[in-house]
């Protein structure tokens, strides 16, 4: 059953139990009113970090990755949140940082975590991504093999990332996509050394350097000295983020699939509604507490 509360479409607990049989037994997905309550409490924390995945969470999926944009309602709510003192908005994505900066239309002082935690840009401060000779060699060998596979699979796209590759199969049929994934995995195994492999939505990713969204979240939290965090994401890689949350934080899974998140909503539209709610509560908190921006 889908219900509407404050314009937020939520998949209820009951629905989860019936349709999401793969949800792990220890997972609690709370009711819509519990989620609203949790956000209201979160809005009263002294230093609030709002960290969000981009694709499938803020922005609906599109065929051309660089055309993806945050839903207008979500963008407006994030702009409001960003203006509230003691409040930070950050994007935590698997996209390379340059791509993430472009699709989020981020300011120079934005907080961005790209490549699943490998790339970090906190305003002017960036992470120097110098690869070792071994990493460079493995990257080159893997690139040549994947290039060959993708060039023989019309519709598949090879995305070059700072520390790896993404093989996109969104435009392929399910069977064809599986064959391409299999070939790419075999190619990766032949390269040797440690490779991080991520199986996402219509994308298989390989990285020669290890980091995850949980690491990214941790760095953000330390950077802004957050006292509580909201994190939302839709994909399996976001589970590292949910696992890094602490008591008082709020984790929201978007869509179906196993999750460690406390709450679940149906789609980016629902996230936009929740961000509006949070922005309102946060502005009220700032007003009541005379928190000034200087």
Instruction: Summarize as ranges the residues that interact with Mg ion (CB under 5 A).
Output: 53, 55-56, 234-235
53 versus 135: smaller Cβ distance to Mg ion: 53
Contact 216, 117 (CB under 8 A): yes
116 versus 282: smaller Cβ distance to Mg ion: 116
91 versus 285: smaller Cβ distance to Mg ion: 91
User: CB of residue 41 vs Mg ion: minimum separation in angstroms?
Assistant: 26
56 versus 164: smaller Cβ distance to Mg ion: 56
Smallest CA-to-CA distance from 177 within 195, 196, 197, 201 is with: 201
Rounded Cα distance between 135 and 18, Å, is 45
Q: Which residue is nearest to Mg ion (CB)?
A: 56
User: CB of residue 56 vs Mg ion: minimum separation in angstroms?
Assistant: 4
User: CB of residue 186 vs Mg ion: minimum separation in angstroms?
Assistant: 26
Contact 55, 62 (CB under 8 A): no
| DSSP-H helix ranges across the chain | 13-19, 32-42, 72-83, 97-104, 133-151, 174-191, 213-224, 239-243, 268-288
User: CB of residue 200 vs Mg ion: minimum separation in angstroms?
Assistant: 8
Q: What is the 3-state secondary structure (H, E, C) of 208-220?
A: CCCCCHHHHHHHH
- Please report the DSSP string for 35-66 in residue order: HHHHHHHHTTSSSEEEEE--BTTTB---SSGG
For β-strands 196-200 and 203-207, DSSP reports them as: antiparallel
60 versus 143: smaller Cβ distance to Mg ion: 60
235 versus 240: smaller Cβ distance to Mg ion: 235
Instruction: Report CA torsion sign: 125, 271, 45, 237.
Output: negative
Token code pair at residue 7: 């314009």
86 versus 235: smaller Cβ distance to Mg ion: 235
User: CB of residue 89 vs Mg ion: minimum separation in angstroms?
Assistant: 16
For β-strands 203-207 and 228-233, DSSP reports them as: unpaired
User: CB of residue 153 vs Mg ion: minimum separation in angstroms?
Assistant: 23
User: CB of residue 1 vs Mg ion: minimum separation in angstroms?
Assistant: 25
Rounded Cα distance between 293 and 49, Å, is 16
């Amino acid at each position: 059953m889908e219900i509407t509360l404050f314009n937020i479409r939520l998949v209820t607990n009951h629905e989860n139990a019936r349709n999401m049989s793969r949800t792990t037994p220890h997972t609690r997905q709370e009711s819509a009113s519990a989620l609203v309550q949790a956000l209201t409490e979160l809005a009263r924390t002294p230093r609030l970090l709002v960290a969000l995945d981009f694709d499938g969470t803020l922005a609906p999926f599109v065929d051309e990755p660089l055309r993806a944009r945050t839903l207008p309602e979500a963008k407006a709510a994030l702009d409001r949140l960003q203006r509230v003192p003691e409040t930070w908005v950050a994007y935590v994505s698997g996209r390379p940082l340059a791509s993430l900066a472009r699709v989020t239309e981020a300011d120079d002082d934005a907080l961005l975590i790209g490549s699943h935690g490998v790339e970090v840009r906190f305003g002017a401060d960036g992470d120097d991504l110098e690869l070792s000779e071994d990493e460079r060699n493995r990257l080159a060998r893997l690139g040549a093999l994947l290039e060959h596979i993708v060039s023989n699979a019309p519709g598949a796209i090879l995305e070059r990332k700072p520390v790896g590759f993404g093989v996109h199969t969104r435009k392929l049929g399910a069977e064809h996509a599986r064959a391409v994934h299999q070939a790419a995995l075999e190619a990766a195994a032949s390269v040797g050394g440690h490779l991080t492999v991520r199986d996402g939505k219509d994308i298989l990713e390989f990285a020669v350097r290890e980091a995850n969204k949980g690491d990214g979240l941790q760095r953000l939290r330390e950077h802004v000295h957050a006292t509580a965090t909201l994190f939302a994401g839709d994909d399996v890689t976001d589970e590292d983020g949910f696992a890094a949350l602490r008591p008082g934080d709020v984790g929201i899974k978007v869509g179906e699939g196993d999750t460690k998140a406390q709450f679940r909503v149906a789609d980016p539209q629902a996230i936009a509604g929740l961000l509006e709610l949070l922005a309102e509560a946060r502005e009220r908190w700032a007003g009541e507490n005379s928190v000034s921006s200087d």
